[in-house]
Homo-oligomer: A and B are copies of this chain.
Amino acid sequence: MKLATLKDRTRDGMLVVVSRDLTRCVSARPIAATLQAALDDWTHVGPRLADLAHDLELGALPSERFHEHDALSPLPRAYQWLDGSAYVNHVELVRKSRGVAMPESFWTDPLMYQGGSDSFLAPRAPIRMPTEDWGIDLEGEIAVIVDDVPLGATRDEAAAAIRLIMLVNDVSLRNLVMPELAKGFGFLHAKPSSAFSPVAVTPDELGPAWDGGKVSLPLLVTVNGQPFGKADAGVDMTFDFPALVAHAAKSRPLAAGTIVGSGTVSNRDPDGSPGRPVAEGGVGYSCIAEIRTVETIRTGKPSTPFLRYGDTVRISMKDAKGHSIFGAIEQTVSPMTDGGDSGAGNG
Residue positions of A touching B, CB distance < 8 A: 11, 40, 77-80, 82, 85, 111-119, 128-130, 134, 148, 150-152, 173, 176, 180-190, 192-193, 247-248, 250-258, 336, 342-345
Contact = CB atoms under 8 A, between A and B. Distances in A.
Contact of A252 (B11, B82, B114, B345): B345
Of listed A180, A255, A336, residue having the most chain B CB within 10 A: A255
Contacts of A181: 184-185
A184 B191 CA distance: 14
Nearest to A129: B251
Given A150-B343, A151-B130, A192-B251, A118 B257 contact: yes
A231 to B, nearest CB: 22
B77 A79 contact: yes
A186 B189 contact: no
A141 B289 CA distance: 38
Nearest to A171: B252
Given A77-B79, A344-B148, A255 B118 contact: yes
Given A79-B118, A113-B114, A344 B253 contact: yes
A interface SS class: loop
Given A192-B251, A336-B152, A115 B118 contact: no
Contacts of A130: 151-152
B82 A79 contact: no
A330 B130 CA distance: 44
Contacts of A114: 113-116, 186-188
A68 to B, nearest CB: 24
A40 B190 CA distance: 26
Given A253-B342, A255-B77, A258-B118, A188 B112 contact: yes
Given A151-B336, A151-B342, A252 B112 contact: no
Nearest to A41: B11
